[in-house]
Structure 1
Amino acid sequence: MHRLGGVPLMGHALAAGRSLDPDRVIVVAGHGAEAVRKAVAKLDPEAQIALQDQQLGTGHAVAQALPLLEGFEGKVVVLYGDTPFIGADTLAALVSHPADVVVLGFEAVDPGRYGRLVVRGDTLDRIVEYKDADEATRAIALCNSGVMAADAALLRDLVGRLGNDNASGEYYLTDVVGLARQEGRSAAVVTCDEAETLGINTRAELAAAESAFQARRRAEMLENGVTMADPQTVWFALDTFIGRDAIIGQNVVFGPGVTVESGAEILPFCHLEGCHVSAGATVGPFARLRPGAELGGDVHVGNFVEIKNSVLAEGVKVGHLTYLGDAEVGERTNIGAGTVTCNYDGVGKHRTVIGAEAFIGSDTMLVAPVRVGNRAMTGSGSVITQDLPDEALGLGRARQVTKPGLATRIMQALRAAKGKA
């Protein structure tokens, strides 16, 4: 559930699994299962949840998923929620291998406490957990990532025969290799770079993984033709999409669900999440786009502007110091500084609809639900509580009263009172 690239770690595993276009996706949830269930509903609504009440090992975890695989014929791939970097090409190689059981391995610079893969020729003979390995086996550098692919029927049979006679008293999924070999079934290893198999076990490892993820995404963006003035200060989410020739300024943060089309520009110090920015639009500096913000072509959103759940049509200009929430704004409308759509009454949200080529004066409060017509105008400082028809001027402010000389007399009286005090 810890976040990497703006989404829970398991979101990366789910995305990798989805690259295979699988028939079914099953998430085994144990500790914190309810939180996992809610997160999966957002990340992958079609995924099913298998509950592991007791955490008795990886083999036991897979056993909890087997009832949800009833009737399925094909290969089953086992991934891990805390291993976020395994790539689509690696998984494709894993499932395309003809062996009955295929394990993903890697050559470790420091094998440490990883399980070791014991190979004879091209055949994987067995997997030995570090706790159960002798010194000769611990000297092997080929390590087990835990990721595995096997035929569904074979996996059901082998997992059903797992025992827990080992140093941890757990049911190891790794033991299916030995069981398969005893039956004369084939087992093999597909290898990948060690960086792909990085598992996250501590806060320090999570921070290191975030750094690695961001470095990779920055390199991908540059390679794909995105211009970044200072790449090290730009942060991406797992699903951030930015088109070629877009320009990204310094210190920009992309949360989940952002699409920026080719030719758009995001100026420095902006935060975007769950939004779409069309070609030719400019955002910022110091702007915030929240979920549901849709910016049309050539829209300008300036400094200290916040947009939430609102659609801005082509050519709209929102210069500065404005909040637009639950709004629809027509083409080429100008929104003055300090405008607020008052969309929340303490219970429900209400929409504001502004027509095309309207002019909203500075410091206008639009009290939703309200509609402003095409080419209509509001006077600066107005509180608009009623619909405005096309081409009308709306004024909703108190009449100014002028008292000649009163300012001087007030200041003199205040100074005199202060002197006496």
Structure 2
Amino acid sequence: RDLPPQWSVHGVVVELAIDANSKVCTGAILDTSNPVFNESFEFSSETLELPDSLQVVLYRDSQPPLPLAYGELPLHTLNHHSSLEEWVPLTTNGSSAGAVLLTLRLQQELPEPVLGAHSDWTHAIRSPAERVPSPFAEPRALSPDASPSYRQHLESSDRRFHQMSQAVDITTGNLQAEIQRLQQKLDRQAASENQLVLEMERRLQQKDAEAKEITSRLEEELETARRAVVVAKAESDAVEVTVAEAQGLPTPALGPLSVELTFGSEAAATAAVTGRPPVWNEVLSFALPPDLPDSAAVLKVALRDKRTGDNVGLGKLSLPAVFQKSPGRAEQWVPLHHFSAAVGRVRLRLAITDISAAGQAELASAKRRKTDLELELGAAERALSEREALVKQLQQQLEQGSHVSQELGLLRAENEELH
């Protein structure tokens, strides 16, 4: 109280010392000549002897702190059963500079010495059974000589501590309950994810079995169809070509002449004749596959000189174009050319022979099986597509399960740290 007004501009702090190694200091207070600190400190000693006095120093709150005034409180009147409350005068340069009110109490058995904030407020949160007991957990005995203000101060401090302790217990219990709830929720979610993964694996195995069965049936059907095609080709339609005669050939003498016909991969030739004009009237036969495209149904004609082996002329005939005009049977003159020069022509008579009844039945059956195979193939492709979708979904579920496991591990680690 009654401090010089100019000191309050920067703020003041009070330092208490019983020796050079035992010092404590209050917080700073600004803008008042009568600061109120209301701070408590404890000093401990291993001996039963009291120091002669308590040193009081008033500092300006600056860097470095500037001492402003000094005071001293004798301790010889303080015994083991009394307390002391007294204004300590402060002086500076021999002049009065206000006073500081101190309340002292001597305890024969002091609690763990603490300067400043109490340690129980700063240690990590623990369960109520593990919390370090506070030196103020039980009401403190007061000397009969304690002043009413000091008694009121201690009682208020005890109440605040018990309130804080109860609040910490409640908060800790709530945190542990919340962690337990979250952990149970994650456990249920992990169990659900595991069940879903097992179901996905079962469905995947089922789809694999269906795909294998379809593949096996397809292989059998393809083999049957292949055999049917072989039979159908053996008894398929054929084109019979009668090589009749040739006209308009070159005047120079030629050797015996022969006509060679090529249809697809098959080739056949007439006998060589020497007459002019040459006449053969010889029948050559070629297989006509049912699936042969029109662009490949071309009959190639070559007139050869058997004496020299040279081609006298070449020509070709499109069967679809011929039979479109005259279905089943036709007669056609085929022009021959040697390079770009016309060298005559050959008359051909063509006829398509009917396929046998057995061949027709086999061919119809092969076509039906082909349709069935296309349907089976579509089902197999859909099964494979569903399998790929299941694999992707399973991978996603496994990734989600991994994330859940990681979160659960983190939560458990936090729970252990909280404990």
Q: What TM-score do the two structures reach when normalised by structure 2?
A: 0.21
Q: Which has the larger radius of gyration?
A: 2
Greater helix share, 1 or 2? 2
Larger RCO: Structure 1 or Structure 2 (Cα < 8 Å, ≥ 6 residues apart)?
2
